[in-house]
Amino acid sequence: MDFRHTRQGRTALSAVAITAGLLLTVVGCGGGGGGTSDKGASSPSAPARSSNGGAKTESQTPQADAVLAEVKGENGLVLDVTSAKRDAGGFVTVEGTVTNNTDTIWVAADWRGDEKELARNGGSIAGASLIDQKGKKKYLILRDTSGRCLCTQFTGGVDAGKSADWFAQFPAPPADTTAVDFQVGSMPPASIEISEG
């Protein structure tokens, strides 16, 4: 009898913890504006990528992929967006490269965002957002229940003269929205087209 009550208590506690985690994820990714819900914000089907994916894939020259947008920042930092695909799970995956044309290592400190929760992501692209001008809505990077972004962490930084691949996943804007602005840190916004995945 005690075992059954203990098991029921654990099941209830697990359900409460999962529900709280999902609510935090939805609230963290909501972005605000209009009261519309983000369909993919708590999607468990979003593919989990390695938190340091792309951090060590450095090369002397950027990939030869087609570039959707290129943004130049301070001191020669260059951000290229090479892909923005809408996936069936209700999210958008944006990918590209960052090239460090400065004379020192770059650690992406101002790209992780201002939110206290995002500080645990270290030097990452966690502070990026997609802005839907048509729908007047801002989409923040998806996060897991522990606050880790579904994005690249630049572990160890990017050495001077090197490039690194990056990715970031966002809740998908409505299906009729194909043009959005990608923005991160103090870099100017980049207008990109979303393609179907």
User: What does the block give as tokens for 50?
Assistant: 């390695």
Question: What is the distance between the alpha carbons of residues 162 and 180, in angstroms, rounded to a whole number?
Answer: 28
Spans of the chain below 50 pLDDT: 1, 3-7, 9-17, 19-20, 22-27, 29-63
What does the pLDDT read at residue 123? 83
Q: What is the pLDDT of residue 74?
A: 76
Q: Which of 197, 166, 196 is nearest to 182 (CA)?
A: 166
Euclidean distance between CA atoms 6 and 50, whole angstroms: 36
pLDDT tens digits for 77-104?
Answer: 999 999 999 998 899 999 999 999 998 9
pLDDT at 64: 52
pLDDT single digits (tens) 12-37: 444 444 544 544 444 454 444 444 44
Distance CA 132, CA 12 (A): 39
Q: What is the pLDDT of residue 186?
A: 86
pTM over 0.85: no
pLDDT of residue 42: 41
CATH class of residue range 2-196: mainly beta
Burial of 15 (0-12, 13-18, 19+ CB in 10 A): exposed
Positive or negative torsion for Cα 11, 12, 17, 19: positive
Please tell me the distance from the alpha carbon of residue 7 to that of residue 9, in angstroms, as a whole number.
Answer: 5
